[in-house]
Amino acid sequence: MLFHVTMKVNIPLDMPEEQATKIKAIEKAYSQKLQADGRWRHIWRVAGQYANVSIFDVSDVEELHNLLSNLPLFPYMEIQLMPLCRHPSAIRNDDT
């Protein structure tokens, strides 16, 4: 199943910079692992915000929930998601 996920990050202003840097590095490694294995298919930065729009390809909503809740920045995120399905007018066959 494909999911459109918007993640907005709100790191507390009083979090020590060293701690924030460490969490971001762990987050980057985790997200790149998910991208490499195909479950996190696309990620785009939202210009002017500490946010991204992503496409996940997972077996079900429970798998998506587990992946998202394991993000190191999860406690500091506002997440919105919506399931996607192929549009009958789509011309590409590689986007299912």
Query: What are the phi and psi torsion angles at 2 (to 5°)?
Result: -95, 140
Domain ranges of the chain: 2-84
- Return mean pLDDT, the chain: 95
Distance CA 66, CA 68 (A): 6
Q: What is the pLDDT of residues 1-47, one digit of tens each?
A: 999 999 999 999 999 999 999 999 999 999 999 999 999 999 999 99
**What is the pLDDT confidence band of residue 94, given thresholds at 50, 70 and 90?**
confident
Distance CA 60, CA 1 (A): 6
Domain 2-84 sits in CATH at: 3.30.70.1060
Q: What tokens appear for 22 in the block?
A: 């460490």
